[in-house]
Structure 1
Amino acid sequence: MNVKHYTYRVLWSEEDQEYVGLCAEFPSLSWLDEDQAAALEGVVQLVADVVADMEANDENVPEPFSQKKYSGKISLRTTPAVHRDLALSAAENRVSLNRLINALIAGQGCHKAELSC
């Protein structure tokens, strides 16, 4: 497993007054450092150690998000009232319900005045 294929992020922690390195596939792990690059290096090494330990113990190692296959299909349950409101909004904007929901999820909005969805 190439641990560099995981999803890493480095953020400033106001509370800790240091950078915190995170890995999306291992949400319970983090690495603090006053240097941004060192925070990234630290969390990558920490993940490498954890993966090595998991492999040594025959545990399932999480697949990197970058290597997962996504179908593009999402099953969503909602209330009848929300479903009705979405269908009405889609009709008013002259778009399919699917297109409206995709625009809303993407944060693009979809309003009569701006038929951008």
Structure 2
Amino acid sequence: MINEYQYIVDWEPADRVFVARVTEFPSLAAHGDSQEEALREIRGVVEEVIADLNATGEPVPEPLCLRQYSGKLNLRMPPDLHRRLAVEADRKGVSLNQFINMKLVQ
């Protein structure tokens, strides 16, 4: 299961190390002198945390790649922004939904 989580490795110039994080466990981080070492370290930490969660009967976060999404999103926005977007969508000859999707993909 640890292979299915989303890992990110960044260079931290202040500490001069690579820091790896896992999106599904935002409080976890590990570092290393190389990207590979940082990734190896965080994967080990995740493995230990999952074992601890399983041992105590706590829920283990589901990997993002396994989550199901409906494709529907309810979004609140200020009325003036709603109006501006609707006008712009109308000018382009598309629905507001299509227009917002186009904007999000950019």
Structure 1 or 2: more helix by fraction: 2
Structure 2 unaligned regions, length at least 5 = none
Name the TM-score, length of structure 2 as normaliser. 0.96
User: What is the CA–CA distance in structure 2 between the aligned matches of 1:103 and 1:8, rounded to whole Å?
Assistant: 28
User: What is the CA–CA distance in structure 2 between the aligned matches of 1:101 and 1:14, rounded to whole Å?
Assistant: 37
User: What is the CA–CA distance in structure 1 between the aligned matches of 2:73 and 2:14, rounded to whole Å?
Assistant: 36
Aligned residue pairs total 106
Structure 2 residue aligned with 1:43:
42
Q: Alignment partner of 1:100: what SS? A: helix
Structure 2 residue aligned with 1:17:
16
Structure 1 or 2: more strand by fraction: 2
User: What is the CA–CA distance in structure 1 between the aligned matches of 2:101 and 2:71, rounded to whole Å?
Assistant: 11
Structure 2 residue aligned with 1:72:
71
| Fraction of identical pairs, as percent | 40
- Amino acid in the other structure paired with 1:11: D
User: What is the CA–CA distance in structure 1 between the aligned matches of 2:35 and 2:90, rounded to whole Å?
Assistant: 49
Give 1:42 deviation, angstroms.
Answer: 0.3
Give 1:74 deviation, angstroms.
Answer: 0.8
Structure 1 unaligned regions, length at least 5 = 108-117
User: What is the CA–CA distance in structure 2 between the aligned matches of 1:79 and 1:46, rounded to whole Å?
Assistant: 42
User: What is the CA–CA distance in structure 2 between the aligned matches of 1:106 and 1:15, rounded to whole Å?
Assistant: 33
CA deviation profile, 1:6-63 (whole Å, cap 9, x unmatched): 1111111112111011100001101011121010000001001001101100001100
User: What is the CA–CA distance in structure 2 between the aligned matches of 1:55 and 1:12, rounded to whole Å?
Assistant: 32
Give 1:86 deviation, angstroms.
Answer: 0.6
User: What is the CA–CA distance in structure 2 between the aligned matches of 1:42 and 1:16, rounded to whole Å?
Assistant: 17
User: What is the CA–CA distance in structure 2 between the aligned matches of 1:100 and 1:5, rounded to whole Å?
Assistant: 33
- Amino acid in the other structure paired with 2:15: D
User: What is the CA–CA distance in structure 1 between the aligned matches of 2:41 and 2:62, rounded to whole Å?
Assistant: 20
User: What is the CA–CA distance in structure 2 between the aligned matches of 1:15 and 1:75, rounded to whole Å?
Assistant: 40
Is it true that 1:86 corresponds to 2:70 in the alignment?
no
User: What is the CA–CA distance in structure 2 between the aligned matches of 1:24 and 1:70, rounded to whole Å?
Assistant: 17
Structure 2 residue aligned with 1:34:
33
